[in-house]
Amino acid sequence: MKLAELTSSDLIILDQSYSTKDEVFDAVAERLIKAKIIPDKVDFEKALYAREKESPTGLENGIAIPHAKSSAISRPVFAVVRSTTVIDGWESLSPDNNVSLIFLLAIPEKSAGDFHVELLAKLSRAMLNKDFITSVKNATQVEEVINALDRVDATEKNKATTNEHATSKKGLILGVTACPTGIAHTYMAAEAIEKTAKEMGYDVYVEKQGANGIEDRPSKELVKKADGLIIAADVDLHEMNYYAGLPYISVPVSTPIKDAKSLINQVLNHPDGKFTTVEDDEEEGPSNKKKSIGTEMYQALMSGISYMIPIVVGAGLMSAIPQIGGLLYGLKPGTISNIAYATSSNSILQFLYNFNSFGGFIFSLMYPVLAAFIAYAIAGKVGLAPGFIGGGLAGGLIYTVNGIKDHVSSGFLGAICVGLVAGYFCRFLNQKIKLSKNIQSLKPMLIIPLLSIILVYVLNLYIFEPIGGGLNKLLVDIIGQSTGSYFIAIVIALATAFDMGGPFNKAAFAVTLALAADHTFPMTANILGCIIPPLGIGASVILNQHVFKRDIYDDSLVAAGYTSFISGIIGISEGAIPFALRDPLITIPLNMVGSAIAAVVATFFKVKIWFPIPQFWGWPLVEGLLPYLLSLLIGVLFVAIGNIMIRDHIAKRKIKVSKKQSVAV
């Protein structure tokens, strides 16, 4: 493909003044309509904003590459927009990126596969071409931009392809790059390594693990000749045992873009070590990268929680649907779980009972999945089986299967401990047990599962269960006291509201869910802490715009405020993040205090929410809906009015300081 053929003079906009992303999208949409590439703005802009929600499209050096995929787009094109002013609030991978140059892609749905990725990759590589960027930024005529694109196409065509023959006397550098989206930074990092290595006189070959999977993998012959391996990645890599034995360094994917030369010198002179992977696990990254035990355990825990959350959400929905169905049939809340409905003459009630039991079954998988993926994050595939089985023990499944009631299992704490032990023990066995090639398969299939499963059973029976069960019982006793309930509600609300979808939020969710699963403590405080920050911030913008009318929010934050309010209605905390990033010392404390106040009010009125459903459609399942809505309103108004008052006070203070300085001058 040729870049110059995918745009036109009508789609190149130079030296217009745009202050928001909306204005840019609107201007490009107008041009595309005139060119008969799209019929109207609606579907096109909807596709653009849908992509913006997935991950930042801003890069570095003032550049952004937004893109839309839609069946309404007639043919693939891209527009170039150069703004005379910096566009506010454009989310970028580099925090200090002030966007003013935009390459906007419009891709038909039918071309959304390899073609889309190839175009993005080619543009991303062009972003590292200083001559190209300088030409576009300095162009006075549209034709100069077209000519710059032609030169990029010519450079791509004439690009040296001598890597497979490695003729440089200096040596050969290999690289592997990968970023979360698998597009922009993956190819930009690869281009930076390739360009710099060649300038330094080295042969170079870089593998890209991007949206199209593994691309440009070097031959085994090149791997044997290589002097070093640069791994630039922000995600887990695949099939990395291919590079075992090479001197390597591992860095974030953005590092080569900023300074590839120092990385090449480092991998040649001071590598992190010889690259190895956990044997028999093709998806494991470098196991000998120096990392503190605390960091590794924390990352493993977060990994386990992230895999557990979809199970929990599914379980909550599968349990909530029959509960709501029971309410429609006039049943009291929670009574659909009565075993009498299992043999009811009403087939619908019988179905709802079984559906509710299905939700309970999914809940029982919560601890096995948590422990399994904690172990997997540490040991790879060999950790899955003992982790899953140990998690089942922690969740008390063995007692459920055998009909033993009223037994306190090790629960959430036990599942975490089992996952960590299984992970480290399996990794130890995998690294230390050496077998001949003829019987190598016995290690992952027999020896490691046998020893690790026995270990987690014994440890759970004699250590985790007595300790974890005792702590669980103690927690139940504390919660049974009114003061204890208030304390736990406040702590959960504070942690949930602190980072809006981040690690503290997820940890609070996991702990609360564990308590709610046993009907020990409801999820009320967690749900309030989840939705009050986005609702409060959104309400702040709306109230200020229509009631208080203070000059405290710019246009980009006003738009973000409405988005935040909508996200709060559907139970998404992340809508408040733009405000927290802009003014963390105002936003975060208000979110936390507002959530804690609401949690105290809800606890006082004995509001109970047992299902992880923060959205408004979960309201029928709330025990004490009116006091719940009251506590929610109090928390939202505290955050909203608090933001307005504090921001207005700061704005007025700045004006006074400015006036004093003017008088002094």
- Count of CB atoms within 10 A of residue 624's CB? 16
Q: What tokens does 376 get?
A: 């997997």
Query: 294 burial class (0-12, 13-18, 19+ CB within 10 angstroms)?
Result: exposed
CB-based burial label for 626 (10 Å; 0-12, 13-18, 19+): exposed
Beta strands in 407-529 (DSSP E): none
Q: Containing H/E element for 208?
A: strand 203-210
Quickly count helices (H) and strands (E) in the chain.
Answer: 24, 11
Tokens of 603: 């606890």
State how far Cα 160 lies from the chain centre: 37
Task: Label residue 248 left, alpha or beta by phi (over 0 means left) and psi (-120 to 50 means alpha).
Answer: beta
Which run of H or E residues covers position 470?
helix 465-480
**b (16+ CB within 10 A) / e for 341-356:** beeeeeeebeebbebb
- If residue 579 lies in a helix (H) or strand (E), which one and from where to where? helix 577-582
Residue pair 253/265 in contact by the 8 Å Cβ criterion: no
CA distance 270 to 135: 38
The pair of structure tokens assigned to 415 is 């599942």
Closest among 67, 24, 64, 63 to 44, alpha carbons compared: 67
Alpha-carbon span 168 to 225, nearest angstrom: 11
Q: Is 179 a catalytic residue?
A: yes
Active-site residue, selected from the candidate residues 179, 417, 426, 530: 179
Report the candidate in 493, 477, 480 with the shortest Cα–Cα distance to residue 601.
493
The strand pair at 273-274 and 63-64 is best described as unpaired
3-state secondary structure (DSSP) of residue 211: coil
* Spatial distance between the Cα atoms of 538 and 546, rounded to a whole number of angstroms: 13
3-state secondary structure of 632: helix
Pairing between β-strand 101-108 and β-strand 77-83 as defined by DSSP bridges: antiparallel
Residues acting as catalytic residues: 179
